Structures are given as C-alpha cells and as structure tokens.
Amino acid sequence: MTGRPGIPSNILKNIPLFSSLSEQELDVISQMAVRKTCPADTLIMSEGDTDYALYVIESGRLKVFLMDETGKEIVLDTKGPGDYFGEMALLDDSPRSASVMALEGASMLVIQGREFREYLSTRPDIAINLLEALSRRIRILNEQVKDLALKDVYTRLVKVFRQLGEKEQGRYVIHQKMTHQDLANRVGSSREMVSRIVTDLIKGGYIKKENNRLIISANLPPRW
C-alpha cells in the first residue's frame, strides 16, 4: 500500500540520517517521500532490480539477504525502525545489491532516488553520514568474511546468539522467533548442522526454549 506524497517533517526528524536538517530542509525531503506499508513476508526489493528509491523504516523488521538459484539464502543483516536501505543502487547507479523482505508488518518512507541524489550534492553532511555507514558496513563484512573463512559453524552460531540476544539477568534472550533454518541462513551453514549443534547445546543445559523465546546461558563455551 502506498500513501500520499509528503510526509510530516517531524517523522523525518527522528531518523538519524536526517537529524541534522532544519525544518525547511526536512520539508524538501518530505516532498520527495511517500509512505508504504506492507504485511510480513513481503518482498520489497530483489537483487538485480533497477530502481533507485531509498527506503527509511518507520516500523517493523526487515531482512537483507542473498539467494542462489536453488533457493539457498544467506542473511546479511536485519534492519528496524530508523534504519534505511536502498542507498547503494542510488549512489553507484547499479542494480540492487541484495534482496529485502519484511519479517513483520512494516511501514517505510520511500524517497525518490534521482531527486534525493541531486539533493545530496547540496548536503555534504548527509553524504558523509552515508559514507560513514558504508564504511561501518565494510568493517562488518570484513568480519563476516573472516568468520566464514576461518571460524567453524559452532563459533559463528555463538556469535549470532550474542548478536541477536538481549542480555537479561546474566543470560541472552532471543525474543524473535528463529527457526533452525533462519539461524543456518545467518551463519552460512545447513539446517541439519545447526539443528545438531542446538540439540547438543540443549542437552548440555546451555540453551532452553521458553514461550517461543530462546534462552542462552552466558556460560556458553566459546568453542564446543
């Protein structure tokens, strides 16, 4: 579903990318944007698409992923309120580098890419903000490459548990529903391998499932 053009500037003000802009400048951006809402499991963009809109998330959680011809996928990142995506095609004028799907109902502001790119040339501070974020992403990617090449699946899984889990009373709690396949897609392994490790960890008392939540002991050994 797509809303009318023009988004109240106070909504844009709360988005870190635009927080340095004045009311007037926010009005300019707001005129380039439309609101789009979608239910869970909607594919918002596919790798290789050629359109140049920038998406800013108002609510909901989305995953950024790559898929091969057999349907096997790897999740690169998950994004939530205040995050944005779709800036890469806009910056290098190339097809979408990854696919994005809503994991839950989501509301997004869609900013027309061509206009926004022109606007960027007048606002180096926003362009630098985008560059800083790209730089952070390359650092994360470097770490992912290192983990994939040099660490075993168990170690990668422990890392994902710690990234997804919220620290509560000395343990990590993952509130979002994650199937073994979802975890496998994050660590770049098979569902069978992840299931084997999780079963062993449950047997060892390091993990338990409680009301759809995964509770992970802080004593989880760094190596198994």
> Which residue has 């992403």 as its token pair?
137
Q: How far apart are CA 98 and CA 49, in angstroms?
A: 9
Shortest spacing between CB 98 and ligand CMP, in angstroms: 4
Long-range pairs, 16-25, Cβ under 8 A, ≥24: 16/82, 16/129, 17/56, 17/84, 17/126, 17/129, 17/130, 18/126, 20/125, 20/126, 20/129, 21/123, 21/126, 25/123
Q: Which residues bind ligand CMP (CB under 6 A)?
A: 45, 64, 76-77, 85-89, 96-98, 100, 137, 141
Cα 4 from chain centroid (whole Å): 26
Closest CA to 53 of 125, 129, 2: 2
Contacts for 145 with CB less than 8 Å, ≥ 6 apart: none
